[in-house]
Amino acid sequence: MKPAAFEYFAPLSADEAIDLLREHGDGAKILAGGQSLVPLMNMRLARPAVIIDINRIEALAYIADGNGVLRVGALTRQRAAERSARVAERCPLLRDALRLVGHAQIRNRGTIGGSIAHADPAAELTAVLAALGGEVTVRGHRGTRTIAASDFFVSYLTTSLDSHELVTEVRFPALPSGAGWSWMEIARRHGDFALAGVGIVLAVRRGVIADARIGLTGVGPTPVRAADAERLLVGRSPAEELWQAAAEAVRGAVDPDGDIHASAAYRKHVAGVLTARALREALSRVREAA
């Protein structure tokens, strides 16, 4: 199918894009990688009157780090982040999650900012951002805001982004030195959206868990940060029984929907199984680093 007719603009700067957003308001849509928007337009599930194509705004494609935060420009291609040595060094959880976003062809076009702005309930990057307690920087004609991940994702495909705002940067806190991590997900076929997925960061000092981060995808309308399970882990010594207790806490924290791909009960069960597996893998990485 073909999309409904639309007016097309290709600004060369973020300022120009923001002016266009101000002028065309709710009828406008930003086009980044187009990997989610274009299928929706082709199926006529989205009919924006105006498309603002940001692909020529080179200043929005970068990966930088400093002060313990990896700053990724919104237009950075998912594949570029996946292959970045800086991402591998500072935030290997992000790299590992990226490897399971669709297929390489999709990641060649799909952007980091597009995935975050689209807020698919089964996306990998939203859960990574939630687990790490990251932030999203957005700009509009009224100025710049930095929104915590916990406030950014509101519901299915819905964020706290105003229709006149542009996502300019996504900030992923770097992993503490010596921390272990793991991304695990279950999908029906390689490249499919996850039925359930979990991202974990684990820091252990003198045999005791000093920090634990758990973010999940596919188990609710937004990514879920499993704060109860994190609290249960911190201050305790790593042990199989502890992983099982954390898995149970995760099952208690999620409220997935069932659909044609998997029942709600299956997703809840798998979220716990993946949590225990990911904790084991994260601990093995802590031990390797030591």
194 residue type, one letter? A
Q: Closest Cα to residue 254, out of 282, 228, 219, 288? A: 219
The residue within the footprint of ligand FAD, chosen from 16, 19, 120, 211 (CB under 6 A), is 120
- Nearest residue (CB) to ligand FAD, 97 versus 283: 97
Range in contact with ligand FAD (rule: CB under 6 A) among 1-9, 30-38, 174-182, 261-269: 30-38
Per-residue binder mask for ligand FAD (CB under 6 A), 44-83, x = binder: ------------------------------x---------
Residue 128 interacts with ligand FAD (CB under 6 A): yes or no: no
Select the span of 24-32, 148-156, 197-205, 229-237 touching ligand FAD (CB under 6 A). 24-32
- Let me know: does 55 contact 39? Beta carbons within 8 Å: no
Spell out, one character per residue from 212 to 251, where the chain touches ligand FAD: x when CB under 6 A holds, - when not. ----------------------------------------
Beta bridge partners of 181: 201
Task: Report the relative pairing of strands 166-173 and 135-140 from DSSP bridges.
Answer: antiparallel
In the chain, the amino acid numbered 54 is I
Residues constituting the chain: 290
Residues in binding contact with ligand FAD, number by CB under 6 A:
28
Q: Which amino acid is at 171?
A: R
Among 50, 106, 148, 245, binds ligand FAD (CB under 6 A): 106
Joined tokens for residue 194: 């996850």
Angstrom distance (rounded) from CA 71 to CA 54: 19
Sign of CA dihedral 43, 123, 216, 112: negative
Which residue of 87, 117, 128, 246 would you call a contact of ligand FAD, by CB under 6 A? 117
Tell whether residue 169 is a contact of ligand FAD (CB under 6 A): no
194 vs 189: CA distance, rounded Å = 9
Quote the CA–CA distance of 126 and 280 in Å, as a whole number: 23
Q: Which region among 87-95, 112-120, 257-265, 271-279 touches ligand FAD (by CB under 6 A)?
A: 112-120
Site residues (CB under 6 A) for ligand FAD?
29-37, 39, 74, 101-102, 106, 110-111, 113-115, 117-118, 120, 123-125, 166-167, 193
